[in-house]
Amino acid sequence: MAPVLVVVLGAGIYATLQWAKPEPEKKEDPPRPLSVFVEPVEQTNIALTVETSGEVRARTEVDIVAQIAGRVVSVSDEFTEGGMVSPGTTLITIEDTDDRFALLQAEAVVAGAEVGVQQALAMANVARKQLRNANNASDLALKKPQVAQANATLKAAKADLAQAQTNLSRTQISLPFHGRIISTAVGIGQYIIPGTSLGRAFSTDVVEVRLPLNDSQLASLALPIGYIAGDDPGLPVELGAIVAGKQQSWYGRLKRLDASIEVETRMLYGIVEVFSPYETNVSQHGMPLAVGLYVNAKIEGREINNAVVIPRDALRAGNQVYVINDKGRLEVRKVIVTHSSAREAIIASGLKHSERVIISSIRNPIRGMALEALQQTYKETAASDYSTRSTVGGS
């Protein structure tokens, strides 16, 4: 019985100790709130800016084509890829010997026809005097058909003379605008015929940028489909691109919108015109707006008074915004967006002035979760970090 008594006694002592031990102090800490960056909702008058991009293209681009046959006797030094073109400056000269001979012959024919007219008029004058007393003298007797024939012959001779002069002028090939040569396809000594392509050139007086616009961007511009500026200067547009390692800027005007929407992309295209892009309207670094350059565009749209503006980082997928209320709790708001850009979003409804929107990322957002708004805004914190790095380690 001794072992049994020992076991029973031990179990009793253990039970007594368990029953008599003091309860541990319980401390329930509330969950630690998540720290987030916030920005206040602003209400201000703002001009909408539409951002898009497109390729610069020449408004006038032509093929240089021969109009007469002949051998090329000279080519301008500027008739090369990238060469400058001035209005009326001869680029290509075609041998004109035959055309000069044709011009001399046409001048001789005109001179002979003028003599024929004078002779016909003299004969008609003589006939009119001889038949002045005759009754019902015929036109043939009065030499009227002969005068008409002589005048017709003179007109035909003058037409041939004008054609000969035109053919002679066509031996000097030039363009009617300021421009640049894109490509060449002829050299000295080559024989060409009418229709032969000699090269290609474009005008530098005006270039165009074709910009795609979606429906919301069109609403921000407040312009109808098929818009044409006409006498109005059009909406101002700032164009930008990085060229030669520097940010370059140019300025133009939105002159018109297409009258139809492209089926494949469902986009509407607008045309921006830039005048004198190679001379007076160059960038701040002296760079011309070259044809073929891909540029970003900022178009000034309509103005909105008392617009509700938030940072673009505060706008979440599905047009949702995270708001921290006065109790430090998370609210998820569904908003209607009027306009958005890379930096800001304009809200039509769903937010009020001075409410605090969250711009930090939240991994698992739950409505009502505790949040702590940091005293500094995200912009101030980023600027402070940059200043510290510049002071310690250099920029």
395 residues of the chain, pLDDT tens digit each: 778 777 778 777 777 777 777 766 666 666 678 888 999 998 888 888 899 999 999 999 999 999 999 999 999 999 999 999 999 999 999 999 999 999 999 999 999 999 999 999 998 888 888 887 777 778 787 788 888 999 999 999 999 999 999 999 999 999 999 999 999 999 999 999 999 999 999 999 999 999 999 988 898 898 999 999 988 889 999 999 999 999 999 999 999 999 999 999 899 999 999 999 999 999 999 999 999 999 999 998 888 888 899 998 999 988 899 999 988 899 999 999 888 888 888 898 889 888 999 998 888 888 988 888 886 554 554 444 444 444 334 43
How far is it, in rounded angstroms, from Cα 127 to Cα 386? 108
Name which of 64, 66, 74, 68 is nearest 189 in CA terms. Answer: 74
How far is it, in rounded angstroms, from Cα 103 to Cα 126? 35
Tell me how crowded residue 68 is: count the other CB atoms within 10 A of its CB. 19
% of the chain residues with pLDDT over 90: 58
Which pLDDT does position 195 carry in this prediction?
Answer: 92
Strands 315-316 and 294-311, bridge-based pairing: unpaired
For the chain, which domains are there?
34-45+305-388 (2.40.420.20), 49-59+205-303 (2.40.30.170), 66-94+171-204 (2.40.50.100), 96-170 (1.10.287)
For the segment 71-119, what is each residue's pLDDT rounded down to a tens digit?
999 999 999 999 999 999 999 999 999 999 999 999 999 999 999 999 9
At residue 309, φ and ψ (nearest 5 deg) are -120, 135
pTM of the predicted model as reported, rounded to 2 decimal places: 0.69
